[in-house]
Structure 1
Amino acid sequence: MADGPGEPRILLAVYYTGRGLSLLLLPVLLGSTVQPPIVIFVVIYGLDWVATVPPTAALCREVFGSEGSVVYGWVFASHQVGASLAAIGAGLLRDSFGDYGIAWLAAAALCAVAAVVSVGIARGRRPLPA
């Protein structure tokens, strides 16, 4: 598969990069009232989250063949566990430091890691261990 604009690895890297950059901007957008910039952020950020589903499913199918659906299920389940741990961690950081600034930076850094890892996913099918 060529590295074109529809390549799942490239799409994921773009989505995660955009997500990380938006998280860096979020503290500037937050305020005591809802302003148009935060509404725009919410819409774009929400669409960005949904946009990662098709390329992730495609990569699972490409790398794991007929078992790709099962692997994607485990990816989704582990994502839910990670999200709950991230929420707990963000709350603990907020309690310790008085705001979510470090949590936003940590989330943006993890997005940068995800973008790099996405590009580095090996091509071709890999047999699952017996």
Structure 2
Amino acid sequence: MYPYSASMGNRWESVNFEQPSSFDTTAMNDELKRSVKGDLRFIKRKDFYKRIGKAWKRGYLLYGPPGTGKSSLVAAMANYLKFDIYDLQLASVHGDSFLRKMLLKVKSKSILVVEDIDCSLDLPTRLHPAMTTPGAPKVWS
């Protein structure tokens, strides 16, 4: 596992991470489990993605309260694919160009986890100005 470390020279720091999670041990609806495993088979189709001009990657949004298995699912996915995990807290990012530099350092065959993204965004600044009066419904842009 490679958490991003601002205190250690702004770099990805290698940390020993042994998470034995697998799809066999993950508590999850069987049909959903099969669906996720099936979707992960995209890994074997790199040439196909190149041929059709699409990015050879996947993105998943996992949400829910603490303790519902999000991290265990990520570990199961990484173990299934034999990928590394990179862990990013957005609070350590100092702008778009800084984020780009960090992302370019992520190795191929890795899962990038952006933790608690909802806690890292200044959401009130994204409200439509006309809809910010007290009691008015909120419109996100």
Instruction: Tell me the TM-score range normalised by the shorter chain.
Output: under 0.3
Q: TM-score, normalised by structure 1?
A: 0.28
Answer with 1 or 2: which has the greater Rg: 2
Give the structure, 1 or 2, with the largest relative contact order (CA under 8 Å, sep 6 or more): 1
Q: TM-score, normalised by structure 2?
A: 0.26
Larger strand proportion of the pair: 2
